[in-house]
């Protein structure tokens, strides 16, 4: 930490050596546990954290948990034993963090949560930066509701309800729990509620491959009944598009496709006429994260919880917006 190292450096005596020593050693050390690389969004998030660490001039100890909570817990424990200055992590699921967070607290190492939310005693972390997944879920349903009304869409099977299928994210992840909650809330309070039926909802684990597989199984059971797909991330939507084409149907036409994240792959799909909309989820949280870390270590007050700004994009503006997209 700053103070003691400056003292040691001064004690060494040689002015020039001391300055460079202090500069090198004064770098804040941040231990960061990432979930893995399940999606295009996650890759953008990881790249941003790494680039922002450079910009912030901090030393980043980065650990990839390969989609396992136990690996994240191990990484956090190892950051504690290495006595890093501050720990950041993306909780893969909402629960199961209490013990390791208590260990960090006992070691007096502040913790900043990034991206996903968690359920724990709020005194066990200092700050949380992320996205409002409940609002993203609401936006997804509202987009569908408006589009269906505007285009006077009728059920493909001639029935009286439009059938929705949902590809959910990782079980127990706040991004999945929140998006489901917001979607259901907007659905249940819509004056058009009776127009829709949720036909099937299953996890595709936020990956392209699983999204494709689960969509294949939905299509096997309900090929001619599905009108709308809400995929809780774009990667699953892109996997599902392949399954829909393989089943001889037209994505975005026979089945309305709405994803979440707003990654470049989804923009391309919208431009190609294969997807309808995506609810933005902003992965570029690195600068805010390191700024927050620095403030905490300088003893400044920081907000307990901050959401980053997000929008909604659809096929009507995809081509125009595409060149401005950063991820």
Residues near ligand GYE, by CB under 6 A:
38-39, 41-42, 115-116, 131, 175, 206, 233, 235, 260-261, 281
Min dist. Cβ of residue 203 to ligand GYE (A): 12
Min dist. Cβ of residue 307 to ligand GYE (A): 12
**Please, are residues 162 and 195 in contact by the beta-carbon 8 Å criterion?**
yes
Min dist. Cβ of residue 49 to ligand GYE (A): 13
**Please, are residues 77 and 60 in contact by the beta-carbon 8 Å criterion?**
no
**Please, are residues 292 and 123 in contact by the beta-carbon 8 Å criterion?**
no
**Please, are residues 260 and 231 in contact by the beta-carbon 8 Å criterion?**
yes
Between CA 118 and CA 169 the distance in angstroms is 15
Please report the DSSP string for 296-317 in residue order: HHTT----SEEEPP--EEETTT
Closest to ligand GYE by CB, 39 vs 180, is 39
Residue (of 163, 318, 165, 157) closest to 240 by Cα position: 165
Closest to ligand GYE by CB, 251 vs 283, is 283
Min dist. Cβ of residue 261 to ligand GYE (A): 5
Closest to ligand GYE by CB, 118 vs 260, is 260
Closest to ligand GYE by CB, 190 vs 201, is 201
Closest to ligand GYE by CB, 80 vs 260, is 260
Min dist. Cβ of residue 179 to ligand GYE (A): 8
| CA–CA–CA angle 27, 32, 91 (5° rounding) | 150
Min dist. Cβ of residue 114 to ligand GYE (A): 10
Between CA 60 and CA 53 the distance in angstroms is 6
Strand partners, 61: 31
What are the distances in angstroms from CA 34 to CA 37, 88, 113, 125?
Answer: 9, 9, 11, 17
Closest to ligand GYE by CB, 109 vs 240, is 240
Coil, strand or helix at 21: helix
């Amino acid at each position: 930490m700053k103070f003691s190292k400056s003292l040691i450096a001064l004690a060494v005596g040689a002015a020039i050596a001391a300055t460079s020593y202090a500069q090198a050693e004064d770098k804040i050390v941040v231990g960061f546990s990432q979930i893995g690389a399940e999606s295009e969004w996650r890759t953008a998030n990881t790249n941003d954290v790494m680039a922002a660490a450079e910009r912030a001039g901090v030393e980043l100890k980065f650990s990839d948990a390969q989609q396992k909570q136990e690996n994240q817990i191990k990484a956090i424990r190892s950051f504690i034993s290495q006595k890093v200055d501050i720990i950041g992590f993306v909780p893969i699921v909402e629960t199961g963090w209490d013990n390791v967070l208590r260990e960090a607290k006992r070691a007096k190492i502040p913790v900043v949560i990034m991206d996903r939310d968690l359920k724990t005693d709020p005194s066990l972390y200092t700050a949380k930066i992320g996205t409002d997944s409940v609002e993203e879920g609401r936006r997804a349903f509202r987009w569908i509701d408006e589009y269906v009304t505007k285009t006077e869409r009728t059920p493909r099977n001639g029935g009286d309800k439009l059938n929705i299928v949902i590809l959910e994210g990782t079980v127990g992840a706040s991004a999945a729990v929140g998006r489901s909650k917001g979607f259901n809330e907007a659905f249940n309070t819509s004056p058009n509620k009776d127009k829709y039926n949720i036909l099937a909802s299953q996890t595709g684990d936020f990956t392209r491959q699983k999204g494709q597989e689960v969509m294949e199984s939905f299509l096997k059971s309900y090929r001619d009944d599905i009108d709308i797909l809400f995929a809780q991330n774009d990667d699953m939507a892109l996997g599902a598009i392949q399954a829909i084409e393989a089943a001889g149907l037209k994505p975005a036409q026979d089945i309305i496709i709405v994803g979440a994240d707003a990654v470049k792959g989804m923009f391309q799909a919208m431009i190609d006429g294969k997807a309808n909309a995506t609810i933005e989820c902003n992965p570029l949280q690195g600068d805010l994260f390191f700024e927050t870390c620095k403030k905490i270590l300088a003893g400044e007050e920081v907000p307990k919880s901050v959401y980053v700004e997000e929008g909604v994009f659809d096929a009507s503006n995809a081509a125009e917006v595409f060149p401005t997209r950063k991820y």
